[in-house]
Amino acid sequence: MDNGSDIASASAKLMHQIAAGNEQSFRALYDCYYNKLYHFAFAMVKTREAAEEIVEDVFIKIWNIRHSLPGVHNIKVYLYTATKNTSLNFLAKKVKENLTQPFDCIHIELAETNSPEELMITSELYKKIQQAIGALPPRCKIIFKLVREDKLKYKEVAEVLNISVNTIDAQMAIAVKKIMSALRSDMDYPLVPARGLKSKE
């Protein structure tokens, strides 16, 4: 059995345990996803209190419908989609209108890592990477975040955002091209983080 099958099997087992009312298993799910979902919600709603409330609401709903969890194909996609929808509902109520561009003004920060390559990045280069990401179009930003920071597969991001895998691929290509172009314009040495920014298969 490959690693992907192992993960799927472990996830299915966890869903059955939660469905049976196992609070320890539910806590494991909560601990695994809370931080990522919080940052995802915060990227949209821009306030800590609202993001915390949104994610808490998502998990409360998960517990309330726990009996149906064994039928959930991909719990990660399910949680991200629920967080997205709850966040958009919050924003819609706040502005009292339909949102056609819900990801405007998203602020994305690169996740901190301690790999040898990443540690070689100077503060100036890190700042330029941040600026390049900040200049990306809103939809491109959220796709970049979900793929590069949250490690979702293209297919999973497509399901969460309700767009095609081809769109994900195209947006990631745009993001990487813009970031590398912004850095290359005033760099006279090899770009250390290039491997970490290239499009994920």
CA atoms within 13 A on the CB side of 87: 27
Task: Indicate the pLDDT class of residue 111, thresholds 50, 70 and 90.
Answer: low
State the DSSP string of 121-181: S-HHHHHHHHHHHHTS-HHHHHHHIIIIIS---HHHHHHHHT--HHHHHHHHHHHHHHHHH
Radius of gyration of the chain (CA): 18
Residues 157 and 143 sit within 8 Å (Cβ to Cβ): yes
Q: Which two tokens stand for residue 45?
A: 């709603």
- Strand, helix or coil at 57? helix
CA distance 18 to 92: 32
- Strand, helix or coil at 3? helix
Q: Bigger pLDDT: 189 or 19?
A: 19
Select the highest-mean-pLDDT range: 12-16, 25-29, 44-48, 87-91.
25-29
Query: What is the value of pTM for the model shown?
Result: 0.75
Q: Bigger pLDDT: 128 or 163?
A: 163
Instruction: Enumerate domains of the chain plus CATH numbers.
Output: 3-95 (1.10.1740.10), 116-197 (1.10.10.10)
